[in-house]
Amino acid sequence: MKDKVIIITGASSGIGKACAYEFAKRGAKLSLAARSADKLKAIEETLTAQGNEVLVIPTDVSREEDCKNLIQQTVERYGKIDILINNAGISMRALFEEVDLSVLKQLMDVNFWGTVYCTKYALPYLLSAKGSVVGISSIAGFIGLPGRTGYSASKFAMHGFLQTLRTENLKKGLHVLIAAPGFTSTNVRKSALTAHGAKQGETPRAEDKMMSAEEVARHLAKAILKRKRTLILTFVEGKLTVFLSKWWPSLIEKLSYYHMAKEPNSPFK
């Protein structure tokens, strides 16, 4: 990744932040985007002190103009784009029966449209570089997770978009990677939206038993370098779940239901 120009959305925390440090360590030139300017600035100061080239651009990916600005500023600074990591995302935890539709719209705006906007404006440069588009998805993009209708819908939509993009550019050298990290220890569950749009504020899962964001970043780097189509991490909650969903969907539906129902204060039983 030496001198590759990499854009990472949602770079202020979690997997995005871990990717920034991992790719910087590998010699990449970074363009980091997130809503939190303060957190981005802190990452920039640390990485530049280590001799890395870093550009930070406060960005709300649900806004098309913000995404267009992110791409323009990156090209003005570096002259090219080699890799786009569509990582920005939010989750939810509520029954569809009870959720405000505005919550689902918010998830689609960030998780799906944020990916579409950034990819649309970056695509000419990525095609020129025969570069990579990466979508940080979830097992929820392969199976419908109860209590996460908006989250699963947004990730399924991301998959359809990226798979079609891959096929359309089959002869143009574009690499498209769909990455499903599985349950990862990040802030995504604490900031997950409730039925009425408030942040959940606490995680319903044992974070210390999950894969770290740093480990996910290392796997992502290897998958990008190998130009893999799909990256599914963890065995039982990842690879096995996706495999069984193709051949025994009714079993996976039951297992998913009872697994998610075990969470503290689960919205369903």
Residue 207, C-beta contacts closer than 8 angstroms, at least 6 positions apart: 185, 189
Active-site residue, selected from the candidate residues 125, 151, 257, 258: 151
**Torsions phi, psi for 44 (to 5 deg):** -60, -45
Burial of 233 (0-12, 13-18, 19+ CB in 10 A): buried
**Torsions phi, psi for 100 (to 5 deg):** -70, 135
- The amino acid sitting at 213 is A
What is the three-class DSSP state of 147?
coil
For 20-72, the DSSP string reads HHHHHHTT-EEEEEES-HHHHHHHHHHHHHTT--EEEEE--TTSHHHHHHHHH
What is the three-class DSSP state of 145?
coil
User: How many Å apart are CA 10 and CA 114, to the nearest integer?
Assistant: 10
257 is catalytic: no
**Torsions phi, psi for 231 (to 5 deg):** -130, 115
In angstroms, what is the C-alpha Rg of the chain? 18
Distances (CA, A) of 112 to 69, 86, 87: 18, 10, 11
What is the three-class DSSP state of 121?
helix
Q: Tell me which residues are annotated as active site.
A: 151
